[in-house]
Amino acid sequence: METVDYQGAVQVAEITGVVVVYLLGLDRVDAAEKIAEEACKRNPEAALLHLLLANVHIRKRDYPAVLRDLGKFLKLEPRGLTSDQVRQTREKLQRALANGQRAPVV
């Protein structure tokens, strides 16, 4: 049963990712954010969804939200394939915000 739940969560993350990326391509950032947030609420253990939401928040330039999203991702995937890159991005963003930069490069 656990395998089915995991596979279902992965499918939800993949489908949500396609929809969110499509909406971002249409510059419908608010709609993309709403879908990504709802997916995270329904599947809080799906690390990929938190990373997806971080990308939406980057587009919105909501950097505190990006930090939260990346932190949730790393809590769920501390040693995943992209975890080192996510960790570096989070640290870079934290430094930029601490130094008072208005629009850090993420």
CATH, residue 55: 1.25.40.10
Is residue 13 within 8 Å of 39, Cβ to Cβ?
yes
List Cα–Cα distances, 27 to 31, 38, 74, in angstroms.
9, 19, 27
d(CA 50, CA 2): 21
Domain that includes residue 44, residue range: 2-98
Query: How many folded domains does the chain comprise?
Result: 1
The token duo for 6 is 């995991």
Block residue for tokens 């990326």: 21
Within a 13 Å sphere around the CA of 37, how many CA atoms are in the beta-carbon half?
A: 11
Q: Is residue 105 part of a domain?
A: no
Q: Is residue 104 part of a domain?
A: no
pLDDT of residue 73: 98
Is residue 13 within 8 Å of 48, Cβ to Cβ?
yes
pLDDT of residue 1: 39
Cα–Cα nearest to 89, from 19, 73, 21:
73
**Per-residue pLDDT reduced to its tens digit, 11-53:** 878 899 999 999 999 999 999 999 999 999 999 999 999 999 9
Q: Is residue 15 part of a domain?
A: yes
Q: Is residue 103 part of a domain?
A: no
Q: Is residue 61 part of a domain?
A: yes
